[in-house]
Amino acid sequence: MKLIESEEVAAARAEGRPLVALESTLVAHGLPWPDNLAVARELEATVRAGGATPATIAIVQGVVQLGLDEPVLERLARDGSAFAKAGATDLAVHLARGTSAATTVSATAVLAARAGIRVFATGGIGGVHRGEASDVSHDLVALARTPIIVVSAGAKAILDLPRTLEMLETLGVLVIGYRTSELPAFYARSSGLALEHRVETAEQLATIARRHWELGGGGVLACNPIPAHAEVVGLEPVIAAALAEATAGTITGKRLTPFLLARLARATAGASIVANRALAVNNAELAAALAIAVTDG
C-alpha cells in the first residue's frame, strides 16, 4: 500500500509527537460547500491548539494520503462528487484502480491504525439502521477489529440507537462515556441508554485503552456528548418523515445517510449543521487530549 504523509504529519511522527486521525467523508459528503471546508479547517486547527497534529485521511488517485495539503483539502470540499465514499471494504478497489475516495469511519480507522495512529476523531459512527436489524454499518465491525480510540458523539441520530448499542456489545467494542453515563444521541446529549463504563479524564480513558490493547482488544468508542449550548432536541418527527421519504424513493445504502442529513438540515433551517459542527469540534478537542495521554503513557 502506497502512503504519502504531509510534511506536518511526517515531522510530527519523526519527533514522536501525538497524531489525531480525521475522516474525509465529512468534508466530501457530509456537509455542504463552503461549510465543509470551514469545518475541515476548524477541526485541524482545534487538534493543533490541543497540542497534537491532525492527519486528515483520503485516497487521492490510488494513494493513501495522511494529512492533506490545502489544495487537496479544498478540492475535496468543493468537488466531493469526484471522491467516492469509501468504507474499509472499498479500500482495495480504489488502491488497485488508482481512483480517489473520501474515507468513512471504518476506512479512516483501518488506515489510521495501519499507520500507527491510535486516536481518531469523528462526528458520529454508523450503526444499525431503523426498521431493518440486518442493515448494519461496517463501522461497527471495523471498530471491533481495529486497535484505535474513536471519539464520537455516539451513533448518528437517524439510526436505531438501542440496537446499535447492543451490536457494539456483541462485537466486543469497548464503549466508554466521557463524563456521561448515557450513550449520546448525536444532536442530543442524552438517549436514555445507559453505559456501563464512564471516565472523567482523558488520562483515565487512555490508561484503559492501553490495557485493552495489551489484552488483544480492538477498538474503543469514546462517547463524548455534544456541548449543551449546541444540542438540538425533538428531532424524532423530522427523522421519521425523512426516513419515510427515503423509503418511498428507494434510497438505500451509502446514499441514505447523506440524504437524511440533508433533509434534517432543511427541516431545522440549518440548526443540525451548526450542531454537527459543534460536536465535531468538541470531539477533536478530546481527541487531541487523548492522543497526548496515549503517547505519554
CA distance 240 to 75: 34
User: Does the annotation count 23 as an active-site position?
Assistant: yes
Catalytic residue, chosen from 23, 44, 231, 285, is: 23
> Could you tell me if 101 and 2 are in contact, meaning their C-beta atoms sit under 8 angstroms apart?
no
Strands (E), the chain: 3-5, 19-22, 53-60, 63-66, 84-86, 101-103, 119-121, 149-152, 174-178, 198-199, 220-223
CA angle 228, 191, 206 (to 5 degrees): 75
Catalytic residue, chosen from 5, 74, 156, 231, is: 156
Closest CA to 288 of 45, 50, 44, 49: 50
Closest CA to 148 of 201, 222, 204: 222
The SS3 of residue 267 is: helix
Long-range pairs, 241-249, Cβ under 8 A, ≥24: 241/267, 242/158, 242/267, 243/130, 243/131, 243/158
CA torsion 235-241-242-246 (nearest 10°) is 160
User: Does the annotation count 2 as an active-site position?
Assistant: no
Instruction: Give me the active site residues, please.
Output: 23, 156
